[in-house]
Amino acid sequence: MSTLLSRHLEALEGCAAQLSEDQVQAWIRALRTPHANFTAAQSRQAHTLAGELQACWPGLCRQLAQALTTQIRQARVGQAPQFAPSRPAPLFALSDFALVDEAQAERDILIARLVQQVELQAEWELRELLGRVNCLAALDGLRRFELSNYPASPAVFARALCQLAQGLPFAPNQIELLMRVVGPTLGVTLKSQYAAWSRALAEQGAPAARYSLAASSPPAHERLAQLLSTPQLDPGLRSALESLRAPVRALAQAQGQSLALTGADPALALVEAIAELFDNHRPAHRSQSLALGLRPALSRLETRLSPQAADFVRALQEVQELAEQDVQQQLQEAAPTVRVLLQAEQEQCLLPCVQEQISEQLRRAPALSPLLLNLMTGAWAQAIAHSLATEGESAPASQRLMGTLDALILSLHRPKGEAERQRQVQELPTLIAQVQDCLRLLALPEAAQAPILDALMKTHRRLLFRSRTPPAVATATEIEWDDASFQAQAADHWQRSDTDLGQLPTVPLPLEEQGAASAWLEQLPIGSRCKVFLLGQWVTARLIWRSDNGKFFMFSSPLASGSHTMTRRALEKLRAAGLLTDLAPSLRSQTSPTHAAGPALSVE
């Protein structure tokens, strides 16, 4: 790597502290500036939030600088961003594999919005900077920098800001208000910073970017040369593409004009299919296995003196069959994950039934404290549903959880007579011991168990032990009604006024979009290739499995060691936000759905 390019990449980390200070100051200024689209209540909240940000300004700058430095370093070494845990680990560890849930989808939507706002304001400055950086990379024979791997891309800053927002000690409405000003301020900051970096490279001798009009569908031999010129190309993919040089050239010489007229090039389709096959397989053993599987089909093409279009179509069919076999192989490797997902889906189906049954039993009991109600219909119900899904109804843990809960609910009914009261008092120590055992099964910490046991003790004392001094009952003479003053009050001025829904701090749920996203998801077949925006980047993912009830979907992709699982609600959110789409066969080589058709201006 040249000294100039190395110094530039090192300078990116060095600017993290100053960029963080500039950003936080810009947030405070933006929150204190009047906004026409802010309501009066939001304006007051913005001024309050600006004061709170000012109070914790030094620590906030350090946290943002640390997050930026981490994201820049990960991008420099080529480390893929990781899925952040969205909630505490449940009783069974779905965190053992990559699960994209609704919270992760919301973070990805936030990152996408921040990236779009930055690109709207700093598109030209970023293009110029990337052009100069890529000129230096080409001189060194290094891989081109794209927005997906450039250490100072908008997605890098957006991920750092999203990571910071997760840890801020503010209320959700304050975080939402802050995010409304973060995007514009980030765009202004990066616009000037990209321009400054580009000027610094120009002053040090970096050549300017050169632009060319790139065709959306290059001929097969040009696409093949483009793939083979990529540094750090997968060895298995390079071997397969090298064997296609001569057959593709021969077909272009023999039938190039007729293929151009028909618009159907089987050689280009074969090249793209092979590139897609290796797209999601980073491990070396998977690459070698696929290369061996391709060898028979490619060898037949090599041995033909004058290959025809039909030969490429036949080879394409074999590649597609190999892709299906590869999907089955991935499913076999992911069998433990699939088992956990099926158990999770069964638990989600059982949980409402368990909660409904517990609520029905509690309906006949006296009024309980919210703490006990939340325990029984929340953590206890989840533990029962989990035990039923994973171990079965006859398992000791299931019987203990259900039996203890039934006995506990029964003890919360007022006894009908003295004999029943005496019996419940005698059984109470054994019951409390069983409850403590179940609380340990729920994995509740000791600090959380103490208030529960205290609430139980108070409830049992009220139901089972008589009070010597009955509470005083108010008589009718002690209650005075001032009817005259009540009737003299003016009528509520809200009664006859219309409510302006546009002034309410609510966002209507796009029901039609959610319904359309759900319908699209229902029709998505196994094996479909999709473009999905995850962790600040567009990735190509292939659907390889869906659960029986359609609550979980598994994709193979370059993220998360080759595969990741997504919940249905996460997919629907991404689809409704325009961050998930399926790919037509002719568009799979594109980098993102926005580049699906038409000529593009590329930086050489």
Structure confidence at residue 62 (pLDDT): 92
pLDDT band per the 50, 70, 90 thresholds, residue 196: very high
Give the containing element (helix H, strand E) for 531.
strand 529-534
Q: How many helices (H) and strands (E) does the chain have?
A: 22, 8
Residue 387, CA atoms < 13 Å, CB-side half-sphere: 20
Query: Are 271 and 244 within 8 A, CB to CB?
Result: yes
Lowest-pLDDT choice from 212-216, 252-256, 354-358? 212-216
Q: Is residue 353 part of a domain?
A: no
Q: Is residue 381 part of a domain?
A: yes
Q: Is residue 320 part of a domain?
A: yes
Whether residues 160 and 33 fall in one domain: yes
List the structure tokens of 531.
Answer: 């473009």
pLDDT band per the 50, 70, 90 thresholds, residue 211: low
Domain count, the chain: 4
Helix (H, G, I), strand (E, B) or coil at 493: coil
537 or 30: whose pLDDT is higher?
Answer: 30
Helix (H, G, I), strand (E, B) or coil at 591: coil
Identity of the amino acid at 549 = N
Whether residues 276 and 381 fall in one domain: no
Whether residues 316 and 375 fall in one domain: no
106 or 563: whose pLDDT is higher?
Answer: 106
Whether residues 155 and 66 fall in one domain: yes
Whether residues 75 and 34 fall in one domain: yes
Choosing from 406, 433, 464, the residue where a domain stops is 464
301: CB partners within 8 A, 6+ apart: 243, 244, 247, 307, 311, 312, 315
List the structure tokens of 162.
Answer: 């999203």
Residue range 404-420: average pLDDT?
86
Helix (H, G, I), strand (E, B) or coil at 546: strand
Whether residues 194 and 228 fall in one domain: no
Q: Is residue 600 part of a domain?
A: no
Q: Domain of 153?
A: 3-97+106-204
Query: b/e map of 559-572 (b: 16 or more CB within 10 Å)?
Result: bbebbbbbbbbbbb
392: CB partners within 8 A, 6+ apart: 398
Residue range 332-356: average pLDDT?
84
594 or 580: whose pLDDT is higher?
Answer: 580
Structure confidence at residue 487 (pLDDT): 44
480 or 529: whose pLDDT is higher?
Answer: 529
C-alpha to C-alpha distance for 380 and 351, rounded to whole angstroms? 10
Structure confidence at residue 195 (pLDDT): 93
The residues with which 534 forms a beta bridge, in sequence order, are 537
C-alpha to C-alpha distance for 266 and 314, rounded to whole angstroms? 9
Residue with tokens 């370093």: 73
Residue range 381-390: average pLDDT?
88
Residue 342 predicted with pLDDT over 60: yes
Output the CA angle 55-56-57, nearest 5 degrees: 95
User: Which CATH number covers residue 561?
Assistant: 2.30.30.140
594: CB partners within 8 A, 6+ apart: none
pLDDT tens digit sequence for 266-309: 888 888 888 877 765 456 666 777 778 888 888 888 888 788 88
Q: Is residue 188 part of a domain?
A: yes
350: CB partners within 8 A, 6+ apart: 385, 388, 389
Pairing of strands 537-546, 563-567: unpaired
Structure confidence at residue 81 (pLDDT): 61
Q: Measured on CA atoms in the order 353, 358, 361, 365, is the torsion positive or negative?
A: negative
Share of the chain above pLDDT 90, in %: 6
Whether residues 330 and 233 fall in one domain: yes
Q: Is residue 416 part of a domain?
A: yes
Whether residues 161 and 12 fall in one domain: yes
C-alpha to C-alpha distance for 93 and 344, rounded to whole angstroms? 10
Whether residues 175 and 49 fall in one domain: yes
Residue 377 predicted with pLDDT over 70: yes
Identity of the amino acid at 530 = C
Structure confidence at residue 170 (pLDDT): 85
> In 3D, which of 587, 542, 582 has the Cα closest to residue 566?
542
Q: Is residue 93 part of a domain?
A: yes
Whether residues 290 and 374 fall in one domain: no
Structure confidence at residue 65 (pLDDT): 92
DSSP codes joined into one string, 284-298: HHHHHHHHHHHHHHH
User: What are the φ/ψ torsions at residue 331 (nearest 5 degrees)?
Assistant: -65, -40
420: CB partners within 8 A, 6+ apart: none
Considering the chain, what is the average pLDDT of its residues?
78
Residue 253 predicted with pLDDT over 60: yes
pLDDT band per the 50, 70, 90 thresholds, residue 513: low
Residue range 58-78: average pLDDT?
88
Q: Is residue 475 part of a domain?
A: no
CA distance readout (Å), 212 to 248, 580, 601, 602: 25, 29, 6, 6
Query: Are 236 and 290 within 8 A, CB to CB?
Result: yes
Lowest-pLDDT choice from 176-190, 204-218, 351-365, 561-575? 204-218
83: CB partners within 8 A, 6+ apart: 98, 99, 100, 104, 535, 559, 560, 564
> In 3D, which of 401, 420, 394 has the Cα closest to residue 357?
401
Whether residues 196 and 238 fall in one domain: no
Helix (H, G, I), strand (E, B) or coil at 431: helix
Pairing of strands 552-556, 537-546: antiparallel
Whether residues 9 and 147 fall in one domain: yes
